[in-house]
Chains A and B, each alone.
Chain A
Amino acid sequence: MNVTQLNRQTAAEAQLLEAYQTALSELPGDGAVMVARDRLLHALKTQGLPTRRIESWHYTDLRTLLKAVPTAATELAPAVDPVVAGSTVLALSGGKPTGSAAVDGVAVSGFAGQLLSGEAASGLAERGADDAIGRINGAFVRDGYVLDVPAGADLADVIELQANQAGGQSHSRFPVRFGAGSKAVIMERHRAVTENAAFVSSVSDLVLEDGAEITWIILQQQGAGDTHLGQIKIVLNADAKLKLYVINAGGKLVRQEIHVVTAGGGADLTLRGVNLLGGDSHTDVTLTLGHDVPNTTSTEIIRNVVFDRAKGVFQGQIRVAQDAQRTDARMACNTLLLSDEAEFSVKPELEIFADDVQCAHGATVADIDKVHLYYLMARGIPKKEARALLVNAFVAEIVEELEEEALVEALEGVIAGWLEKHG
């Protein structure tokens, strides 16, 4: 007997199912897409939201944590200036593209088109039985942007996918293909423009062809009452290099999943995470990384600063397949706990089936170094500012690894701004 079926539906589950009935008539999709949606919704209905009994949701019991799902958004969420000056902005409001959708040298279209044509149907399938984000997004997704960066393209300007929301629901998708040898910097930015509660799901689907060198930054700046369910799925082909930055600086209930597979030798992932957590928020970053072929490399560094009663989670699962010899994977998770009630849970998981590999993980938890604080104060810097300087230093190290100065400056600005408000 299925255990979850014995439980009564939660308010949020009921609201989700009802939202689907309401939205059904306007959800874009051909027959195949609508069948896929129904299948996902059925799974959601029968299995409910994941609880701690599902291993990959152990630290984020979504069923308990998600108290309510707002109804669909009606208000327009206006776009703002990009984080990095001079970026090309592809804006969305409530998950739907607004304004012009043109980027020099890149084929851009709305994801709704792929839903209507049925091209999107296969991509809507869930990753597995625990893929709640894929399910919710696949059932509800309305639109997004599809990008195709041609082989050899070297994009000078940052492309900012600016997902603005003014409360309510928003479900978007971003399938992006980076052609062989292409170079680009993408900022996937999620931001709240009002304090109205929002329920957001967003799935990015990346394929890096051979030798592509891409920087992708997920900057999550949702509001203090918002639920943000993000997922990024990545295929790295031979010699493709991805720098993936995940910066969480908002939201009330956040889960960002990162699922990476390596499909060709020489593929390299640099994952860097900065979690700025405060208030009563709950933020979960979950990585699954498959070193599936020989000669691939990765490093993962996650830095967390946790204030107030905030809770954070990092799950990092690295699988090294049996024939994936000469894999090199290094993972570290460092946390600054800045209040007695702050919490951070780390679950590293290395599953190594090959023998000639280098794999390591480490986790540290600390408070601000008292001697450092004293030294700064002894030079006249008041305690609050001295703490902010040190917290900033802890995460700035990660951001400074990005070589593009404009990017570093912009992200440091985001971090400093957050600390000023919460520190």
Chain B
Amino acid sequence: MLEIRDLHAKIADTDTEIIRGLNLTVKAGEVAAIMGPNGSGKSTLSYILSGRDDYEVTSGDILYNGESILELDPAERAAKGIFLAFQYPVEIPGVATMQFLKVAMNSQRKARGEAELTTPDFMRRVKEAASHLKIDPDMLKRPLNVGFSGGEKKRAEILQMALLEPKLCILDETDSGLDIDALKIVADGVNALRSPDRAVVVITHYQRLLDYIVPDTVHVLYKGQVIKTGDKTLAHELEANGYADIIGAAA
């Protein structure tokens, strides 16, 4: 589903290279965890996958279902089913959450040639998804993410994911700032989306989330490269011994 080939990318405004020859393959139905110390490029990778233009791919390629997506803008990628749950969701004053959800869902439907949702259908979907994630409906009456607590923002991201039903879900440190109850709710939300035609990339630097969203593969990212790939036992190993050994071995 996702194939990243020898990707090099830099910050668009400067020449600082952050992704330095990264290879990664994620198959449909797979849950892949990406772990790595702070500053190793995990968020940058997620931004690049989503098409953020603050970063520039200098070489290599990103294939999604066999096709390069480098030329697509974020909206086009989203419409093709790529979703990034942000580490730091953005507050947008003046944009009502419900309006945003509706416009987003209908934009994607339109791009795929599907009919727009009727208002009752839309409301029903939001209500259902919100109740699964234990989201207070009053929260959705506020402007997008404005005044949401850290945990509420993360849950709102998962709500969007549930409503947009993407094919490739990328979760960037969705666990940070969540207490254990919230973590379980969010993990349930993600697990509910697991399916043979969907892939999930979970970025985290704690094992904790992976107890609830059990990965098929674990990849260690360091200085913009995947330096080690393994199965879920690799995550336990990292939890027990830290990154030092692996980094040392790769160096």
Contacts and interface: CB of A to CB of B under 8 A. Distances in A.
Contacts, number: 72
B73 A389 contact: no
B95 interface: yes
Most buried by B among A374, A378, A386, A393: A378
B224 interface: no
A375 B78 contact: no
B73 A383 contact: yes
9 contacts: A371-B90, A378-B50, A378-B51, A381-B75, A381-B103, A382-B111, A385-B107, A393-B93, A394-B94
A372 to B, nearest CB: 5
A380 interface: yes
A8 interface: no
B95 A380 contact: no
Contacts of B143: 393
Contacts of B33: none
Contacts of B94: 390, 392-394, 396-397
A377 B93 contact: no
Contacts of A380: 75, 78-79, 104, 107-108, 111, 164
Contact of A389 (B54, B78, B79, B95): B95
A376 interface: yes
Nearest to A392: B94
Given A385-B103, A389-B103, A379 B78 contact: yes
Contacts of A386: 75
Interface in A374-423: 374-383, 385-386, 389-390, 392-394, 396-397
A382 B108 CA distance: 9
A377 B108 CA distance: 10
B86 interface: yes
Contact of B107 (A374, A375, A381): A381
The DSSP consensus for interface residues of chain A is helix
Interface residues of A, number: 22
Contacts of B92: 372, 375-376, 390, 393
B122 to A, nearest CB: 15
Given A371-B90, A389-B95, A397-B94, A379 B164 contact: yes
Interface of A: 370-372, 374-383, 385-386, 389-390, 392-394, 396-397
A378 B77 CA distance: 8
B90 A377 contact: no
A379 B93 contact: no
Contacts of B108: 379-380
B100 A377 contact: no
Nearest to A396: B94
Contact of B73 (A371, A377, A390): A377
Contacts of A375: 86, 89-90, 92
A381 B54 CA distance: 18
Nearest to A389: B95
B52 interface: yes
B148 to A, nearest CB: 14
A372 B143 CA distance: 13
A380 B102 CA distance: 11
Nearest to B105: A380
Contacts of A377: 51, 73-75, 78
Contacts of A396: 94
Most buried by A among B53, B75, B160, B164: B75
B176 to A, nearest CB: 18
